[in-house]
Amino acid sequence: MESSSSLSNLPRMYDVLINFNGEDIQRTFVSHLDSDLSAVGLTTFLHHPNAVNPTHIQQPILNLCRVAIVVFTKSYSQSAWCLNQLQQIIKWHQTYCRHVLPVYYEIHPSHVRLQKGNFGKAFKATAHQTFSGQQLRQGMSRWSHALTKAANFFGWDERNHRSDAELVDKIVKIVLHLPILSATKFPVVLESRVKDVIQSIKNKSTQVLTILICGREGSGRTTLAKAIYNQIHHTFTEKSFIEDIAEGSQTRGYVHLQEQLLSDVLKTKVEISDVEMGRSMIWERLYGKRVLLVLDDLNDYGELDLWGSSSWFGEGTVIIITARDEVDLPSMLEVDSVFQMIPMNANESLELLSWHAFREPKPKKEYRVLAKRVVAYCGTLPLALEVIGTYLYKRTKDEWNRVLIRLDNIPQHEVPQILKISFDGLANQIEKDLFLDVCCFFVGKSRAYVTKILNGCGVDSDSGIRVLIKRNLIKVKENNKFGMHHLLREMGREIISEISRKESGKNSRLWPHEDLKHEFSVNTLFSSPGKKVIQRLSSGRDFFERYPVEVRDPSPDTKVFELAGLLKLAGDSDDHSKNTYLTALICMMQ
């Protein structure tokens, strides 16, 4: 419990802060949770309004914590202190990217999220007691936002567990494996899979270990690899996680992959002139060292030819490779362990859909039949369940039925068509155009950089980007760069290709390499020796009407992944920090 002495002698860091209201819950559930967290070596801090100074919000204590567990009870909204503290917790989460884990004890999650029932009545009464005049509306809005935000996090409903002991056991396990939560918002069945792979790594800790994780596109291969990496990376000094290798090798070449590997390991930017130079540097810097390396989405043995041999690395090295089922890597390389992504069963699929559609582990009673039908159409692919579930969040039954009608008309296994339901449901053309622009031009670019470019060209991108992130159509990675699942990019390109066929009559991928000279000649605004400014290419997209591009004439033997250096937004200065190189042609000529 918080006390005068504890505040004056704070440790350097707490593992878990437990936020709650009420002596009853403290003596029962919270006491049990605190004891079990402490028993596994985690440092806890109990934080509730019956502390020394209930009106004081201890922001410094929050900054000392790694995780906040918020225990929602019927009496929680009776405390202005708790509601104010929850505001601070949400700000702390947004600022420091720390974890917030809600627990619903003898209260329905939707009552917290929507401030309904007795919880909602107490919420309004507390607000009227706390605020007056014009402050009332603003104060209630801030509290409501904090409650809704917290209730949208992955959490636990006490009613779904046989006992407090079972619930506490699950919470403790998740807290101990929080890197899993860093890999995905709702880690259904992920924990057991991570445990299996890590056990395999422990069993072979004295050798150079190569692990292959394979499965269908959208099956969660990358998510599993990220969760494993997050779990063990702190035990390695030399480490690198290279995503989307199949696409990266096509668009930017093997040299770029070598540069990323060395830059990650050496923690400084590395530039390489050719593949042989890269191999030499990898040998010099990594020979005999214990390395953790994740190679995501490998589809060609040649993409492994970044170094000479895994025997270069030292004992305890772990190389994790993800690949699609159809890629026959085991016959091409020496793999120590192969982990096949096992499809989720119907109950697990329903739980994942429910987390995204209702922010709860089970569908609402009146939606249960509809949810089961959606799962039947989407199958067991996490990506499809995630995107469709997010789209159905807060939708009416009529809207669910309209989605089911569309699903009924989609051929089996046509995942891009399933994903397109979410795209078609975007509120306006601006949001749709923004998705297509990110899909084609800005994957791998920083959010600040993209926002600056789009805003500078008259596009109000901030609200649209937030919508796309909420819909799980785009993601913002830890380095604040945009990411997008390969199947979503495929869906986006099919949309653009369809637009192109309708408008130009071309039945081909956008901007094939052999058509470049023709496109440059017929769409030039003005030119000078060695340079042209293009207003629009015949893609059916109006991107270049908004963003004219300056093109330096490519030589006949210019490779696809070298074209990035030939493009920049017209009007940019030569200052490196302001130069904007686009990957438009790269993205669309694959």
> What is the average per-residue pLDDT within 526-546?
41
- Asked if residue 542 belongs to a domain, the reply is no
CA distance 454 to 219: 33
Q: What is the CATH number of the domain that holds 328?
A: 3.40.50.300
The predicted pLDDT at position 99 comes to: 87
Q: Is 516 inside any structural domain? A: no
Judgement on whether residues 194 and 150 belong to the same structural domain of the protein: no
What span, in angstroms and rounded, lies between the C-alpha atoms of 120 and 112?
Answer: 8
Buried b (16+ CB within 10 A) or exposed e, 268-286: eebebeeeeebbebbeeeb
Per-residue pLDDT of 183-217, as tens digits, reads 787 888 888 888 889 888 888 877 888 899 988 88
Provide the pLDDT confidence category of residue 507 given band limits of 50, 70 and 90.
Answer: very low
Per-residue HEC secondary structure of 212-262 comes to EEEECCCCCHHHHHHHHHHHHHHHCCEEEEECCHHHHHHHCHHHHHHHHHH
Show the tokens assigned to 103. Answer: 């627990």
Q: What is the mean pLDDT of residues 176-182?
A: 73
Shared-domain flag, residues 309 and 398 = no
Give the confidence band of 407 by pLDDT, cuts at 50, 70, 90: very high
Task: Return the pLDDT at 388.
Answer: 95
Is the same domain home to 35 and 171? Answer: yes
Question: Which of the listed residues 402, 425, 448 is the one where a domain comes to its end?
Answer: 425
Which of 131-145, 406-420, 486-500 comes out lowest in average pLDDT? 486-500
Give the mean pLDDT of 491-517.
59
Is 544 inside any structural domain? no
Confirm whether 208 is domain-assigned: yes
3-state secondary structure of 291: strand
Q: Of 498, 307, 473, which is closest to residue 384 (Cα–Cα)?
A: 473
Q: Which of 125, 144, 177 is the last residue of a domain?
A: 177
- Regarding whether 123 and 32 lie in a shared domain, the answer is yes
151 and 165 co-located in one domain: yes
Share of the chain above pLDDT 90, in %: 31
Q: How many CA atoms lie within 13 A of 160 on its CB side?
A: 13
The confidence band for 7, taking pLDDT boundaries of 50, 70 and 90, is: very low
On whether residue 76 sits in a domain, the answer given is yes
Number of domains in the chain: 4
Higher pLDDT, 326 or 523: 326
Residue 279 has pLDDT above 60, yes or no: yes
Task: Tell me the two tokens of residue 441.
Answer: 């031009």
d(CA 528, CA 35): 74
Assess whether 83 and 66 both reside in one domain.
yes
Return all residues near 80 (Cβ < 8 A) that are at least 6 apart: 126, 129, 130
Q: Do residues 36 and 118 share a domain?
A: yes
Same domain, 239 and 354: no
d(CA 105, CA 22): 12
| Spatial separation of the C-alpha atoms in residues 123 and 109, rounded to whole Å | 15
Asked if residue 50 belongs to a domain, the reply is yes
Residue 290 covered by a domain: yes
**Is 435:485 a contact under the CB 8 Å cutoff?**
no
Q: Is residue 319 domain-shared with residue 464, that is, in the same domain?
A: no
Q: Given pLDDT bands bounded at 50, 70 and 90, which one contains residue 59?
A: low
Question: Are residues 292 and 354 located together in one domain of the fold?
Answer: no
Residues 206 and 298 grouped into a single domain: yes
pLDDT of residue 93: 85
Task: Please state, in angstroms and rounded to a whole number, the distance separating the CA atoms of residues 108 and 566.
Answer: 57
Query: What pTM was computed for the model?
Result: 0.70
Q: In this structure, what CATH number is given to the domain that contains residue 456?
A: 1.10.10
Of the chain, the end-to-end C-alpha distance in Å amounts to 60
Is 166 in the same domain as 18?
A: yes
In a domain, 396, yes or no: yes
Domain that holds residue 334: 190-340
Domain boundary among 495, 529, 563: 529
